[in-house]
Amino acid sequence: MKLHPVGIIGTGKYVPERILTNQELEQMVETNDEWIVTRTGIKERRIAAAEQATSDLAFEASKIAIAAAGITAEDLDLIIVATITPDTFFPSTACLVQEKLGAKKAAAFDLSAACSGFIYGLATASNMIATGMYKYVLVVGAECLSRITDYTDRNTCILFGDGAGAAVLGKVPEGRGFKSFELGADGSGGELLCLSGGGSRLPSSTESIASKQHFIYMAGSEVFKFAVRIMGSAAEEALRKAGMEKSEIDLLIPHQANVRIIQSALNRLNLPEEKAMINLDKYGNVSAASIPIALAEAVEQNRVNEGDCLVLVGFGGGLTWGASVLVW
Residues 136 and 189 in one domain: no
Residues 86 and 122 in one domain: yes
Residues 152 and 186 in one domain: no
Q: What is the pLDDT of residue 16?
A: 98
Q: Environment class of residue 160 by beta-carbon count within 10 Å: exposed (0-12), middle (13-18) or buried (19+)?
A: buried
Residues 168 and 189 in one domain: no
Residues 209 and 142 in one domain: no
Is 1 part of a structural domain of the chain?
Answer: no
Number of domains in the chain: 2
Q: Angle between the 290-300 and 117-130 helix axes, to the nearest 10 degrees?
A: 70
Residues 170 and 182 in one domain: no
Q: What is the pLDDT of residue 2?
A: 83
Residues 131 and 226 in one domain: no
Residues 131 and 216 in one domain: no
Is 320 part of a structural domain of the chain?
Answer: yes
Residues 230 and 307 in one domain: yes
Q: What is the pLDDT of residue 61?
A: 99
Helix (H, G, I), strand (E, B) or coil at 154: coil
Nearest to 155 by CA among 193, 202, 185: 193
What CATH number does residue 240 fall under? Answer: 3.40.47.10
Residues 48 and 153 in one domain: yes
DSSP 276: B
Residues 50 and 159 in one domain: yes
Rounded distance between C-alpha atoms, residue 302 and residue 312, angstroms: 17
Active site residues: 115, 255, 285
Domain that holds residue 252: 178-327
Chain segment 169-182, per-residue pLDDT in tens: 999 999 999 999 99
The residue type at 326: L
Is 61 part of a structural domain of the chain?
Answer: yes
Is 23 part of a structural domain of the chain?
Answer: yes
Regions in the chain scoring below 70 on pLDDT: none
Residues 198 and 317 in one domain: yes
Is 156 part of a structural domain of the chain?
Answer: yes
